[in-house]
A and B are shown apart, each in its own frame.
Chain A
Amino acid sequence: MAQQIMIDPVTRVEGHAKVSIHLDDNGVVDAAHLHITQFRGFEKLCEGRPFYEMPSLMARVCGICPVSHLVASAKACDAILAVRIPEPAAKLRQIMNLAQIIQSHALSFFHLGSPDLLLGMDSDPAQRNLFGVLQQYPERARDGIRLRQFGQQIIELLGGKRIHPAWIVPGGVNEPLSEERRDQILAATPEALQIVQRTLDWFKRGLDQFREEIQSFANFPSLFMGLVNDSGGLELYDGHIRIVDATGHIVADRLDPTAYQEYIAEAVEPWTYLKYPYYRPVGYPEGIYRVGPLARLNIADHCGTPLADQEWAEFRALQRGAVLSSFYYHYARLVEVLYSIEQIEHLLHAPDILSEHVRASAGPNNAEGIGVSEAPRGTLFHHYKIDAQGLIVWANLIIATGHNNIAMDRGLLQVARHFINGEQISEGALNRVEAVIRAFDPCFSCSTHALGQMPLQVQLLGPNGTLLDEAYRGG
């Protein structure tokens, strides 16, 4: 009889994701699943609400990336209004979106990831957190806090509030940017640039220590998907969908994001509230694809800003074709932060950035609207239908983290096979099971919410249910 390792949030007291690892008769790992245990039902609970409430309501999908939901939702509402928003408004939305990429990536890299990277995968779990980093590497921890603060402050300067600002609205944004605030943001960018550059520097120098993790952390061929702009460059706000394969060849290009149902389909499995999107032409589960920072750097021909372009070229030289190890999501995040800071500076210097014309007004002119943008974790789709009064009758969301669901399962399987042997479970093996998930930086709050270190209780049960080994940590 086969065995099962259940990695469960501490006796169901904390944590909303679980992991199960299945062993065959010979004690060899043969399957692994991530179980997402929270479900809120936004696709239904928005029904009957006016469409123009959607950006504010949908921002509440996630407190880590509310701006992404504001952007995708507002774009879907723009489509319902049938307006093309003023160019300065599009630029302002982009700046807020980029600021969010910075704060979210800083959170993922420093607050959640850096304890593994700086203190070590096998370090004492009691110290393996941001405050542990603060004690041993105070400058690094402060850099993380400052970088996240930089992004959050831009969001506050634009929208009046750091989390769930009601500034991005159907038709544009509801307040222009003042000269004073523009200058405040510009004054803060040099420090942020320095932080990300020195972080890239120490991260790249330390990569050699993680050879085993690079090799085993969801390192396999898959498709990669995301938005690119008209020149094939990195794009986070608009553009078209491109899909490349593991060799780096373009499988599909110039796909209309609003026609997503033609190439993305979703499957349900009984063990998780998070659905499994797949590339429709290939089918399930072979149509596995990855999204997010790693995917975006793999699909793009360049970033489009000077410093990020250099880093992008160095990143892509890691491997012929696409960069396949999900460990490199961390690396890609830093390159994207660099790009985002440069791009914010660039946009703030646009001659029309202080324009008073930042919102187009109209009533509902289309019964349906689809909005697509790049969230920190990947491509985000919001799709609404309204009735004659403008009330929502149906909605569909595909959350960035969801696209990576098949890949996260496979990544768990790969790590479990590599680090779990026979009947003993080491603390280091447990942490690596978490760390592969952490590399994807899944926004569980969009589906559940196991922020950072998931507390784990692992039981390895024998064929007749006897306890062979037990390991416990976190939470």
Chain B
Amino acid sequence: MTKVTLATVWLDGCSGCHMSFLDMDERLLDLMEHAELVYSPLVDLKTFPDMVDVTLVEGAVSSEEDLAKIRKVREHTRILVSLGDCAVTGNVPAMRNLFGVAAITERAYQENVDLHPQVPREVIPALLPHCCPVHEVVNVDVFVPGCPPAADTIFFIVSELVAGRRPDLSGLTRFGA
């Protein structure tokens, strides 16, 4: 039996959703009997595969790099899951939209600085004018709110998706859960 391929991607989030994924603890090992983690910050495998069955995305779309990345991931993913409130709504990273990019970089790199105040621009990707949820830029198939979604919830949805079913999330999680 070929295993279902699974990927996890991390955009602008706190890693809490990935930590909640790890909070499946020993169930993670059971899950890996049926699924193969082919791409993730947690493993050291090659480039994003041609086609992945299920990709979990944590985080909002915040920088030019995030945008390019999620477009590419969508192209190579069958079922894309927005995992957690940042992916689903923009949540905390999108709070910056009230102020704008110039104001947040001014505070961090001009005001709260003792030496060489300047906004870093070399090598690193520029922030998008507007931080947004994943489905604002690509199609999303499954939405899993929560900050972060509990390990039990993640175990349930991944198990369902691995078994070829669409998970019914009603009553399982909520925003801020």
Contact = CB atoms under 8 A, between A and B. Distances in A.
B23 to A, nearest CB: 5
B20 interface: yes
Contacts of B114: 265-267, 280
Nearest to A40: B93
Given A39-B108, A44-B99, A62 B125 contact: no
B143 to A, nearest CB: 19
Contacts of A18: 123-124
B138 interface: no
Nearest to A41: B104
Nearest to B127: A39
A62 B63 contact: no
B96 A64 contact: no
Contacts of A162: 19-20, 23, 151
A270 B107 contact: no
Interface of A is mostly: loop
Given A131-B32, A164-B16, A148 B22 contact: yes
Residue from B99, B106, B120 with most neighbouring chain A CB atoms (10 Å): B120
A316 B109 CA distance: 38
Interface residues of B, number: 67
B17 interface: yes
A62 B15 contact: yes
Interface in A8-36: 10-16, 18, 20, 35-36
B115 A36 contact: no
Contacts of B117: 268
A40 B114 CA distance: 20
Contacts of B148: 63, 163-164
Interface in A242-276: 265-273, 275
Contacts, number: 215
> Considering residues A13, A15, A267, which has the most beta carbons from chain B within 10 angstroms of its beta carbon?
A13
Interface stretch (A188-196, A203-211, A230-238, A447-455): A447-455
B141 to A, nearest CB: 20
B14 interface: yes
Interface string B11-37: 011111111101101101100100001
Given A266-B114, A266-B115, A268-B113, A14 B20 contact: no
A272 B120 contact: yes
B23 A152 contact: yes
B39 A111 contact: no
Contacts of A11: 47
A443 B103 CA distance: 25
Interface of A: 10-16, 18, 20, 35-41, 43-48, 57, 60-64, 66, 107, 111, 115, 125-126, 128-131, 134, 142, 145-146, 148-149, 152, 161-164, 265-273, 275, 280, 284, 396, 445, 449-453, 455, 473-475
Given A163-B20, A268-B120, 5 more contacts: A18-B124, A37-B125, A40-B104, A44-B107, A475-B47
16 contacts: A13-B48, A13-B72, A35-B124, A37-B123, A40-B93, A40-B96, A41-B107, A46-B95, A62-B15, A126-B45, A146-B25, A268-B109, A268-B115, A449-B13, A473-B44, A475-B39
